[in-house]
Amino acid sequence: MMNLLCAMSTKPALTPRSRKRIVVLISGNGSNLQAIIDACAEQRIAGQIVGVISNRPAVYGLMRAELADIPTFVVDHTAFLNREQFDQALMQQIDQLRADLVVLAGFMRILTAGFVAHYHGRMINIHPSLLPAYKGTHTHERAIADGVNEHGCSVHFVTADLDSGAVIAQATVSIELSDTPEQLATRVLTQEHQLYPQVLTWFCEDRLKLEGEQAYLDQQVLEQPLRLEFS
Ligand code: GRF
């Protein structure tokens, strides 16, 4: 009787077959990777990270993956003659891992159009701004310099133009007058660590998809990015 009650009151156990195969691409610290590792371990995300690939050797994110017993790979961009060759090698590694979903988590490389097209609808990125504002780098410095009072982060499908794919969800942070870029980055990161796992949860439950250039959640077009609030 106990067992039956338990089974009825919890989600069914995830078998490897029901879990999406996630490959995470990183370039550095990997704090977003850690948030995703934790969410998979707690079965908030119906997925398993089958590999972490870094374009830079010896970054801390690789250590985080190793500590979680996740296979790690380095595809060092400096070893390739051009972007096409690097992307080709990266694609080979991802496809060997049979990824259902490619997650960019602080991956600091611009990808070629061919690479992006290959993963259309199954590659997601997090960006530290309220897109379409502040595409590119140094987002926190630029937001402070402009004197805006609202900033944050966005999770979006990746399409060929940099930081321009359909935005799925955002979380906001207020900018204080005394903020340094580092202080603001820390507060934005805290939001990223909650926002990214939430979006990946939807994807892995087949609730989120991209059709053409349009994102859908639960069959509804996302006309605007969802604004989520976290503590
Ligand atoms: C995050 O702010 C992410 O949005 C940006 O790079 C940073 C990576 O941080 N693309 P981490 O490596 O996940 O700690």
Q: pLDDT tens-digit profile of 21-55?
A: 999 999 999 999 999 999 999 999 999 999 999 99
Tens of pLDDT, residues 99-157: 999 999 999 999 999 999 999 999 999 999 999 999 999 999 999 999 999 999 999 99
In whole angstroms, what is the distance from residue 218 CA to residue 100 CA? 19
Mutate which of 59, 126, 142 to test ligand 1's pocket (most atoms within 8 Å of Cβ)? Answer: 126
CA of 64 to the centre of ligand 1 (A): 14
Query: Residues 110, 114, 116, 122: is their CA dihedral positive or negative?
Result: negative
Tens of pLDDT, residues 67-84: 999 999 999 999 999 999
Percent of the chain surpassing pLDDT 70: 93
Residue 12 has what pLDDT? 64
Q: At what angle do helices 181-204 and 139-146 cross, to 10 degrees?
A: 120
∠ at Cα 115 (113, 119), nearest 5°?
110
181 lines ligand 1 (CB under 6 A): no
152 lines ligand 1 (CB under 6 A): no
Tens of pLDDT, residues 198-219: 999 999 999 999 999 999 999 9
Residue 52 has what pLDDT? 98
Residue 155 has what pLDDT? 98
Percent of the chain surpassing pLDDT 90: 90
Per the structure block, which two tokens stand in for 200?
A: 């990946």
> How are strands ordered across the β-sheet holding 47-54?
72-74, 47-54, 20-26, 101-104, 123-127, 150-157, 167-174, 226-227
